[in-house]
Amino acid sequence: MWLESGFSQVAQALLWPVLVLVALAFGYALWVGGMALMEAWQRWRRPGHAALPDPAGLSMEELEMLVLRQIEPLRLLSRLSPMLGLIATMIPLGPALQSVAAGQGQQALSVFSGAFAGVVLALAAASIGLIVYSVRRRWLLAELLQIRRQREAKA
């Protein structure tokens, strides 16, 4: 019984940090979404726009690593946000079910609405992250391919 009580207390202590992480993930998703829209606009206005730095002094492996460093945060955002949303939903679920069992439906409803808001924001962040990840990955891989072809033509 003491083990269950300890787990419950640890889980409850994690609620606010998880909600803060969900809020940060959502804010970051909006930020990178805006950056991707700006980059798309720049690519549309100037078709030769490149996101990679001048590749003159870098090997292909170094450029590939640079690409991975640029898109890895988006990959993590799209994969971790749903987990954070699930945690944000599951932590208040126990106390909410206890409230329902005690006949305090209104209290349970307020707990559920907050929990579901967390999962909705987390899923929105993951969705934005996945879209931006996919688009930026395609752009950067196309740039790598162009650089590789230019280098092969010179050789």
Residue 15 has which token pair? 């609620």
pLDDT of residue 67: 92
Q: What percent of the chain has pLDDT over 70?
A: 97
pLDDT under 50: residue ranges of the chain: none
Cα three-residue angle 93-99-100, rounded to 5 degrees: 90
Q: For residue 136, what are the CA distances in angstroms to 23, 66, 81, 154?
A: 23, 13, 19, 27
* Amino acid code (one letter) for 70: Q
E strands of the chain, at which residues? none
Query: What pLDDT, in 10s, does the model give residues 91-131?
Result: 888 777 777 777 776 777 777 777 788 899 999 999 999 99
